[in-house]
Amino acid sequence: MAKAGRDEERRTFAEEADSLWLITFAGSIWAVHFVLCYGATAAVCAKLGGDAAAIATLRLALGGFTLLALAGIALVAWRSWVQWDFLDDWDYEHDMAEKEDRHEFLGHASFLISIISFIGVIYVSLPVLVLETCQ
């Protein structure tokens, strides 16, 4: 039993290459969402600028995509929250020379970045919500 516990611990805090990438996921989702909003709007406004139906479709599509992006970021945030495991030991400093601290620190940083990205996506979506034409 003790051995199994140790093995699990070793697995959890192994030097997982993906956990450094984790801190870039939420920001990347923000970036993809941003580029898509900008690109789709630029294309629709340039090619079908006068067409009210096209703009309505665009706004609907971007609205849907925004929900998707928010869901993605929420997922990353959940993953990071689990990795941070705050409620386990109430640790938010992570300044010990232990694998567990490194593991939880990356979760913590990633969680915070998810929050910023979430706010960022909402901000960027506001124009889609309130503006009805390209002009």
Partner 1 sequence: MLAKPVDEETRERGADELRQTWKTPKGFRYWTAVNNSEIGKWYALSAFFFMMCAGVLGLLIRVQLAVPGNDFLSADRFNQFFTMHGSAMMFLFAVPMFEAISILLLPGLLGARDMPFPRLSAYGFWCFIIGGIFVMGSILFGVAPNSGWFMYPPLATEAEGIGSDIWLLGLSFIEVASIAAAVELIVGVLKCRPPGMRINLMPLYAWYVLVVGGMILFAFPPLIAGDFLFELQRSFDWPFFDPERGGDPMLWQHLFWIFGHPEVYIIFLPSIAIAAMVVPTAAQRPIVGYSWIVLSAVGTGFLSFGLWVHHMFTTGLPSMSLGFFSAASEAVVIPTGIQLFAFVATLMVGRVKMNLPMLFISGALAIFTAGGLTGVMVALAPFDWQAHDTYFIVAHLHYTLFGGMVFPLMAGIYYFFPIFTKKTLSERTGRVVFWLMFVGFNVTFMPMHFTGLMGMPRRVYTYPSVLGWDLLNLISSVGAFIVAAGFVLFAVDLLRPRGKQPYAPRNPWKAGTLEWSHYVPEENWGSRSVPYITSRYPLWEQEGIVERMDEGRYYLPDAPELKRETLVTTVLDARPIQCLRVTGPTWITILAAVFTGGAFIFPTFHWYPPAIVCGGAAIACVIYWLWTATSQIPEKDKDMRDAGLSLRLPVYASGPASVGWWGVWITMLGDATAFASLVFGFVFYWTAKPDFPPTGTEHALVGYLMLGVAALVASWGSIYGARVVNRQGKVATARALLVAAPLLAIVGSGLFYLSVANAGLEPASHVYPAIIWAVMIWTIVHTGGGVIMQCYCLAGALFGKVTPEHDSDLWNVTLYWHFVCLTVVVAGLTIGLMPRVM
In the shown chain, the binding pattern of residues 46 to 85 toward partner 1, with x for contact by CB under 8 A and - for none, equals xx-x------------------------------------
Q: How far is CA 30 from CA 17, 23, 117, 125, in A?
A: 22, 13, 6, 11
In the shown chain, the binding pattern of residues 78 to 97 toward partner 1, with x for contact by CB under 8 A and - for none, equals --------------xxxxxx
Closest to 63 (Cα-Cα) out of 131, 133, 128, 132: 128
Closest to 30 (Cα-Cα) out of 57, 85, 68, 81: 68
Q: Looking up tokens 């309505």, which residue turns up?
A: 56
Binding site for partner 1 (CB under 8 A): 15-17, 19-20, 23-24, 27-28, 30-31, 34, 37-38, 41-43, 45-47, 49, 92-97, 99, 101-102, 105-106, 108-109, 112-113, 116-117, 119-120, 123-124, 126-128, 130-131, 133-135
